[in-house]
Chain A
Amino acid sequence: MDLNQLEQLSEYRWRIPADNAMHVPGILFGDREQILQMDDKVYTQLRNVTLLPGLAGPVYAMPDAHWGYGFPIGGVAAFDANAGGVVSAGGVGFDISCGVRTLHTGLTPADIAAVQNDLADLLFAGVPAGVGSQGSIRLNDREMDAMLAGGARWAVQQGYGKLADLERTEERGCIAGAEPANVSNQAKRRQRKEMGTLGSGNHYLEVQRVAEIYAPKIAARFALSENDIVISIHCGSRGLGHQIGTDYLREMVISAPDFGLDLPDRELACAPIDSELGRRYLGAMRAGMNCALANRQILTHLTRELVAELLPHAKLELLYDVSHNICKVETHVVDGLQRELHVHRKGATRAFGPGNPDLDDTLRSAGQPVLIGGSMGTASYVLAGTTAGESASLSSACHGAGRAMSRRQARRQYGGRQVIDELASRGIVIRSPSNRGVAEEAPLAYKDVDKVVEIADRAGLANKVARLEPLICIKG
């Protein structure tokens, strides 16, 4: 990205100055090197977002921002319904409520070392992953609607997990305002065989070791200690969410002229929040979020059962579950006024600071756990939301590293078997149905997650708490 088109506000904050067309400025987080390496299309896409109506405050690009579709991945924007603000299906994306949940296990590295390959085989056999995989749960129409209305709460009622899980899940496991009737039959059909499936691409289930603690007091609140074993699950709303995105993007693209919206990029497809289409999308999107929460809850249940077969003393307790592709109604102070806003985070993680009432008693003093996923051989991180992040970025932080090379480049450069063998030599066991998929997801195909997290920490978006290193990775 050309630095000449930006104003540097501080070491890690850069601004796209507002011009006559832009309603608000754009703010990018990153050090000089990261911003230089960012694709110019991040600038273009972030600037395009500033042209949308009803924005409240600047739009933001997180340190892992990269070229997306419509919004940049790593983009954050808040809209005020009372100011003609919009909700954008393109600003949420296809994988509605894709997110990460991390579970304590009570296990030690020695426990895992004793069964590492067997556990990998068991998880790979028991957790449906990859193209063409199917879950064992089949929902009829009534059950599907109950799941879409109830989210992880529905899943727990069905016996997949326990009530305590809900306390540590965003929205207590169920976002209000979900409207299953607003979800097409095609979307529901696409979900029929996909409940309790991991998906593919960068989605995974990992057994990880806490390799380093950076903030001991917060880590204690999160019940994390060095050499703890945790399990992280990264996935989203599966086919249902993808189809909701497909359906509403199309409708919003076609309807944009009717709303007087002159979109600089069709993918920014949106509708006024206070319109029939806007309200209908929000109801469907929230149903998509509940699907993602239910899906991660079912995967948690499966994981508990599988781990117990080999390690019956394991106790899988949920640390936290948070999404990074979603639009949420939140209250923020913007321009000195407390306002209720529709905050879009696309490839960005909500990062509530200490004291937020959304957090349970234990977490409230520490801030919300912010779960940052790695890529097979690279580390993942647990961060904590900060008070400073509220005004800096609408309580938002990064979500991962972002790709450094395309899938084709990665495939040309790495072989799947080679990647698996190299990681095995480092003590990381990979299981995947597709060697080609592993090659395309090779750790070096991604940017340096350590750097992204470091900058998020230094910029005050979220504080580093713990570094997690993979021991087993189940890839779709």
Chain B
Amino acid sequence: MEHGRWEHFEHDADIGLRAVAATREGMFEAMGEALTAIITEPGAVQRAETITVRCNAPDNALLLVDWLNALIYEMATRGMIFGSWRVELEGQTLTGFVTGEAVDRLRHQPAVEVKGATYTALSVQQDSQGLWHGQCVVDV
């Protein structure tokens, strides 16, 4: 499982994101894609501009919230949507290289803006086979 898989799970008011990957980096990247998929189809996003985000947190679960919130912040302030994600981890410091384009309301048909990542149903775990699992509920 070189590339992570992601899915949305049911939450009454908001949306749950869940991802699994062979590496911790891959799991964070897949969660980034799951975040975009709330707003629009990730495959429809052109790769016009790359930006870098950095986060540091005391544990993996908080790092996942920080990563998602960093993406939410960059989307909100830059008016961008992202279509590809590359994550490098050094201990509990994450550097993300995310590529995307300005929101095009006609082409992207953005469904909803994401307000923030929550700590509800939040987890990051490595299973007995070494796969990394992450999940988080985001407020929309």
Contact = CB atoms under 8 A, between A and B. Distances in A.
Interface of A: 39, 41, 66-70, 73, 90, 93-95, 130-134, 186, 189-190, 192-193, 199-201, 239, 242-243, 245-246, 249-250, 253-254, 265-267, 269, 402-403, 406-409, 411, 433-437, 440, 476
A249 B76 contact: no
Contact of A267 (B66, B105, B119): B119
Contacts of B13: 66-68, 73, 402-403
B93 to A, nearest CB: 16
B73 A406 contact: no
Nearest to B105: A433
Most chain B CB inside 10 Å of its own CB: which residue of A190, A243, A402: A243
A67 B116 contact: no
B12 A406 contact: yes
Contacts of A192: 77
Interface in B62-116: 62, 65-66, 69, 72-73, 76-77, 79, 102-103, 105, 109-113, 115-116
A253 B110 contact: no
Given A201-B140, A435-B109, A66 B120 contact: no
A284 B59 CA distance: 26
A267 B110 contact: no
A67 to B, nearest CB: 4
A190 B119 contact: no
B15 interface: yes
Contact of B73 (A67, A93, A134, A186): A186
B11 A67 contact: yes
Contacts of B72: 242, 246
Contacts of A132: 79, 102-103, 105, 110
Interface in B1-50: 8, 10-15, 38-40
Interface of B: 8, 10-15, 38-40, 58, 61-62, 65-66, 69, 72-73, 76-77, 79, 102-103, 105, 109-113, 115-120, 122, 137, 139-140
Contacts of A265: 119-120
Contacts of B39: 131
A234 to B, nearest CB: 14
A406 to B, nearest CB: 5
A68 B76 CA distance: 23
Nearest to A67: B12
Most chain B CB inside 10 Å of its own CB: which residue of A199, A406, A437: A406
A440 B61 CA distance: 29
Contacts of A41: 12
A436 B116 CA distance: 20
A246 B110 contact: no
Contact of A239 (B58, B76, B103, B109): B76
Given A200-B111, A250-B66, 14 more contacts: A67-B11, A131-B110, A201-B140, A250-B62, A267-B119, A269-B119, A402-B13, A403-B12, A406-B8, A406-B10, A407-B38, A433-B105, A434-B109, A434-B111
24 contacts: A90-B119, A94-B139, A95-B115, A131-B39, A133-B105, A190-B77, A201-B113, A239-B77, A242-B76, A242-B115, A242-B139, A250-B62, A250-B66, A250-B69, A254-B58, A265-B119, A266-B61, A403-B12, A406-B8, A406-B10, A407-B15, A433-B105, A434-B105, A436-B40
Contact of B10 (A253, A409, A434, A436): A409
Contact of B69 (A69, A90, A134, A246): A246
A193 B75 CA distance: 13
Contacts of A130: 105, 110
Contacts of A190: 73, 76-77
A66 B64 CA distance: 25
A66 B12 contact: yes
A136 B73 CA distance: 20
A259 to B, nearest CB: 16
Given A69-B14, A73-B13, A94 B111 contact: no
A253 B140 contact: no
Contacts of A131: 39, 103, 105, 110-113
A243 B115 CA distance: 8
A406 B58 contact: no
A437 B38 CA distance: 10
A437 B111 contact: yes
B140 A407 contact: yes
A296 B116 CA distance: 21
B139 A73 contact: no
Most chain B CB inside 10 Å of its own CB: which residue of A193, A267, A407: A407
Contacts of A249: 116, 118-119
A436 B44 CA distance: 14
A95 B115 CA distance: 8
A107 B105 CA distance: 33
A142 B77 CA distance: 19
A66 B10 CA distance: 13
Contacts of B137: 69
* Top 7 A-B residue pairs of the complex, sorted by shortest distance between their CB atoms: A131-B110, A132-B103, A266-B119, A69-B120, A69-B118, A94-B115, A67-B12
